[in-house]
Chain A
């Protein structure tokens, strides 16, 4: 059945290759850090000035000068580098990050997406969202397939304020993995046990099927026991 938020993150982690330099946005994306594939060297970037973000510290390990972009305390991975904002955004905007995994309010079929301003939120904040969306080599979106009210988040055109035009390469949801191609959206994988028509019904635009379209290979639980699929 459908994936949990952690399940979406687990699935994305499988697609980050050795040598990837990745920025993880807030929400489901940051969970990817918990499920990185062992024995692959993947470096996590934090826009406030870290390449090589490590796990959260224990209370005894906390360093008040060491925080990640979410403003929470972090540690450094072996081989980490620290730098200022000019270098950090040169990495982001200059195409040096191999991947950005970002949350979204909506994704359009041409790869436009909206994630920085929730409609109705009176105080806007953009941070580095637009820089990542424009600059990362591959932009992955991680989100639930539909809104809390059941409306599709994959749509013909975004109604929420855009973050960037035509930049999303792949969409990961609790129901599916979908590629954004010049010919439109292509369904690559769907949650095991789901009816394809049910996925299409929850998607606001047509989905072509990849030649090797298949059920997602996601176990019920991760190695640490975290639930990856809804019971």
Chain B
């Protein structure tokens, strides 16, 4: 019987090695696999290359990995101005940054997961982010060539999951989680709730289990449940 469930986050991330390239799902706090990231931090893994939309949302999870000096390189679209921990390391020259327009970041990951060798995009043409990239004119429009991205490991977060690895998200949790689930050698998901097989209706399986290697049921990280100020600015 297939059973991808793991006892806890510590066990799930135990074989992630120093020097690994890791994709982290989430946009802001929604869909952030914060408990897996905290478990990685606790085991002391270092010299990491992180692929993520941002650089963390505070002094926990990804922000704390920067604070602890565990990250060598960040590939991201929007590291500023959200993370003081990233900022400090970056300004000291201790973290390399590869800045990628958000849509190109998504598509590079998609190519990595879909067996494609890259793509041409009009985004970035004529800007400083075009530096070093092949320029090609197709049907009178200019495009840049972008390479695929893959990772050793992806950490993602779902709302519901079953032992087969099928996942369902809620709200805006899907963001990068769905595409990152396709583009890493080992995909580890944390979920709010494990359900029996069939507990997620087939029409609502957003990430099919074929993409997921391990999953863990977790409590929401307390930083993701902060009571908002009036109207909920975050």
Contacts and interface: CB of A to CB of B under 8 A. Distances in A.
A64 B223 CA distance: 11
Interface stretch (B5-13, B39-47, B209-217, B225-233): B225-233
B87 A123 contact: yes
A48 to B, nearest CB: 4
Contacts of B199: none
Given A62-B232, A67-B28, A161-B128, A85 B101 contact: no
Nearest to B110: A86
Interface stretch (B16-24, B119-127, B132-140): B119-127
B102 to A, nearest CB: 4
Contacts of A122: 87, 90-91
Interface string B163-183: 000000011111111110000
B116 interface: no
A134 to B, nearest CB: 5
A164 B142 CA distance: 12
A109 interface: no
Considering residues B28, B29, B170, B171, which has the most beta carbons from chain A within 10 angstroms of its beta carbon? B171
Contact of A131 (B103, B126, B232): B103
B232 A72 contact: yes
Interface string B21-35: 000000111110000
Nearest to B230: A59
Interface string A86-116: 1001001100000000000000000010000
Given A48-B28, A89-B106, A89-B107, A82 B125 contact: no
A48 B174 CA distance: 9
* Residue among B29, B86, B173 with most chain A CB within 10 A: B173
A74 to B, nearest CB: 8
B184 to A, nearest CB: 16
B60 interface: no
Contacts of A63: 171
Contacts of A125: 54, 77-81, 99
A162 B175 contact: no
B99 A49 contact: no
B234 A71 contact: yes
B84 to A, nearest CB: 10
A43 B137 CA distance: 33
Given A123-B79, A125-B81, A56 B232 contact: yes
A197 interface: no
B78 A85 contact: no
Contacts of B31: 65
Q: Give 8 nearest A-B pairs by CB, closest first.
A: A65-B171, A73-B232, A89-B103, A125-B80, A131-B103, A71-B28, A123-B80, A84-B174
29 contacts: A58-B231, A59-B227, A62-B228, A65-B172, A66-B172, A71-B57, A72-B232, A72-B234, A82-B174, A84-B177, A85-B27, A86-B106, A86-B110, A86-B178, A89-B106, A92-B103, A93-B121, A123-B90, A124-B99, A126-B101, A127-B101, A130-B127, A131-B101, A131-B104, A134-B123, A162-B127, A163-B127, A165-B125, A165-B126
Given A64-B30, A125-B79, A127-B102, 4 more contacts: A49-B27, A67-B171, A130-B124, A164-B126
